[in-house]
Chains A and B, each alone.
Chain A
Amino acid sequence: MTFFFMALGEVLQASNLLILAASVVVGLVTGAIPGLTVNMAVALAVPLTLSMSPVASIMMLLGLYCSGVYGGSVSAILLNAPGTPASAATSLDGYPLAKQGRAGLALKVAILASVIGGLFSVLLLILVAPGLAEIALRFGPVELAGLLLFSLALVALVSGADPMKAMFATGLGVLMSSVGSDPMLGTPRFIFGINDFYDGIPFIPLLIGLFAVSEMLFAAEYWFRNRDKPLDFSKQRRTNRLDWAEARRIFLPVLSGSVIGSFVGMLPGLGASVSSFLSYSVAQKTSRHSDEFGKGAIEGVASAEAANNAVTGSAMIPLLALAIPGDSVTAILLGALMIQGVAPGPMIFSTAPDMVYTIYLALLLANLFIAVLALVAIRPLTLVLRIPQVYLYPVILVMCVAGSYVLRSSGWDVATMFAGGILGYMLRRMSVPLAPLLIAFILAAPFEEAMRQGLTMSRGNPGVFFSNPISLGFVLVTVAMVAGSAFMNKGKAV
């Protein structure tokens, strides 16, 4: 309990609350502008955390994460252009509602559903993460290798529409992580005589390049033309009021969306987009107004928004308990936490319980701040959507360059960022998902260490992974997943 009060005292400091409020506003704006993603916002914020305390850093990054996911719904409803991929399902009914003059109602439902979904998943995090960590504490290198193999396979098979492209991205992430000193023997690998490669490919410039610079390059393809103008708010107050009848209509979709989003968020690789579409289709199938879906059903908005925000808390469960990121944003968060000297994983509950409570409290507060600030900021947010991209994007590219440079005052980091940008741009043009690459880049090192420790213990006998029941279980599930995916792919090809 002492640690809880320590964390509460830190979190409630005025400066930290101000940082959280500012990051929630920035996240709302970033999420709302189509083309600017949560990944980009969090990646660009990481260099700023270098000079901040761990608590302030955690609050800033989590504030950006939670509000950025909600922010995407604003442009999905007013522009029919989802600010984030996770809000694509919201636009299916949000935009028709806005065209009927009920944009205000759609936005209010989106806020309510997002906040309930977010809070539900934080409660789940608080309940599940410590138990999961306790189980993981009994894991040795053999069991850990099995778990990480399962996570990597899951990421490779379920991220994106094409499992083969995701598999390629996963392999590339693992290969890129092997640049630098070998974790067991210290032997340099693939450094090609370049000393800067000894410590491996720098993580933050790489992720800024992959997620932010590639986004800029993609937007430059259309010469930064905003293609749409947002719809105006209706002045008909009565049709935009969220009354009791409407609250009853959205109760079940919000509840089912929260459960679905929380479950999907715990599984590595799936993320908020999958959860929102899954929740939307469940709400459509179970609703008494299923014929209204796609034409302006508030249940559609509620189910999608509850699900995509429910991912934010539950994605932290594998991150905190197992150090396995659930999506690309939590992968960035993992890197940022490690820079701050906070090492997620089963030990964190005993070595840094104050940090665990800080994360819980920051997530709870971020969701409450979204509820207040989003309601206040709905109208100013619509103005942000009118800013021409041509003035916005060059400024963001400047922030990418400056953010990469300040890490070590190094031109090498800036060069890495541009290389990451080119790689991300090329992969995106070929519809290769970036999340598996980043997650594999992070998970490869612990996987290699665990696998090699296990093999060293057995003098190179791979049978060690099949004689241990836990590891065998993970290997069997992985084999079943790969076989199932290959079978489904074969069916599609035929």
Chain B
Amino acid sequence: MFTRIFGAVLSIAAVLAGAIIPRVHAAFDGGIPGPALMPLVALAVIALGGAGMAWAAAPETSLPIRENLRQVGGALGLLAAGVTYAAAMPILGFVLATAVFILMTCLVFGGRHPVILIVLTILVPLALHYGFAGIFNLPLPEASFLQE
């Protein structure tokens, strides 16, 4: 059912976007094709695909809501941790931010082996920093408080 609704919404959205785009960019200008031509072709393909999904989507087996939320929760948890890590990298620097991220993520997701945790937390950030910056000469962010 979800796929059918999604397909219908997608199809309508593509048609609406297709109606708006020619007001911003021209599809043809004096017989010469303009910048809107390709996006309009893409939107037509999306509208067709969406209509097809709405018309003849295969029946779906959906999980109970609680199980579904638990699954999505795991993915959102990792995503939030990843985004926080990326945002913290320019402040804490690559090595420190990576160490904290690996330790916290492993702990949150159930990794409890102390030796593995210590080894990963210390060795991985240093090894990656050495690999990227030392061997491949690709600089990684340094801690902002060390740059003063």
Contacts and interface: CB of A to CB of B under 8 A. Distances in A.
A451 interface: yes
B68 to A, nearest CB: 9
Contacts of A459: 31-32
Given A221-B75, A390-B110, A394-B101, A451 B33 contact: yes
Contacts of A409: 139, 141
Given A220-B77, A394-B106, A409-B139, A489 B39 contact: no
A182 B33 CA distance: 11
Interface stretch (A167-175, A277-285, A323-331): A167-175
Interface residues of A, number: 72
B76 to A, nearest CB: 8
B43 A460 contact: no
Contacts of B146: none
Contact of A175 (B43, B86, B105, B140): B43
Given A168-B53, A460-B31, A402 B41 contact: no
Contacts of B25: 187, 189
Contacts, number: 190
A329 to B, nearest CB: 22
A221 B43 contact: no
Interface in A293-321: none
A444 B75 CA distance: 31
Interface in A149-175: 156, 161-172, 174-175
B141 to A, nearest CB: 7
Contacts of A185: 34-35
Given A164-B7, A391-B116, A456-B33, A401 B85 contact: yes
B78 A217 contact: yes
B57 to A, nearest CB: 8
Query: Majority SS of interface residues in chain A?
Result: helix
Nearest to A224: B109
A137 to B, nearest CB: 25
A6 interface: no
B46 A172 contact: yes
Interface string B110-124: 110100100010001
Given A51-B136, A156-B45, A398-B128, A190 B39 contact: yes
Contacts of B140: 402, 405-406
Nearest to B37: A452
Contact of A391 (B53, B57, B120, B137): B120
A50 B138 contact: yes
Contacts of B2: 430
B contact face: mostly helix, strand, loop, or mixed: helix
A240 interface: no
B12 interface: no
B22 interface: no
B53 A460 contact: no
Given A48-B136, A174-B42, A402-B140, A391 B111 contact: yes
B32 A456 contact: yes
Given A51-B137, A167-B45, A405-B140, A418 B79 contact: yes
Contacts of B33: 184, 451-452, 455-456, 460
Contact of B139 (A156, A406, A422, A493): A406
Interface in A465-494: 489-490, 492-493
A417 B125 CA distance: 20
B56 A492 contact: yes
Nearest to B11: A168
B79 A217 contact: yes
Contacts of B55: 493
A395 B46 contact: no
B120 to A, nearest CB: 6
B136 A220 contact: no
A131 interface: no
Nearest to A459: B31
A10 interface: no
A264 interface: no
B38 interface: yes
Given A164-B56, A398-B101, A405-B140, A182 B35 contact: yes
A368 interface: no
A493 B6 CA distance: 18
A174 B38 contact: yes
Contact of B138 (A47, A172, A223, A397): A47
Nearest to B35: A182
Given A175-B42, A493-B55, 20 more contacts: A47-B138, A48-B138, A164-B49, A170-B49, A178-B42, A187-B35, A222-B74, A388-B111, A390-B110, A391-B106, A394-B102, A394-B109, A395-B102, A398-B98, A406-B139, A409-B141, A414-B86, A430-B3, A455-B37, A459-B32
Top 8 closest pairs, chain A to chain B, by CB: A164-B52, A168-B49, A171-B45, A460-B31, A167-B49, A171-B46, A174-B42, A406-B138
Interface of A: 47-48, 50-52, 156, 161-172, 174-175, 178, 182, 184-185, 187, 189-190, 213, 216-218, 220-225, 388, 390-391, 394-395, 397-399, 401-402, 405-406, 409, 411, 414-415, 418, 421-422, 425, 430, 444, 447-448, 451-452, 455-456, 459-461, 489-490, 492-493
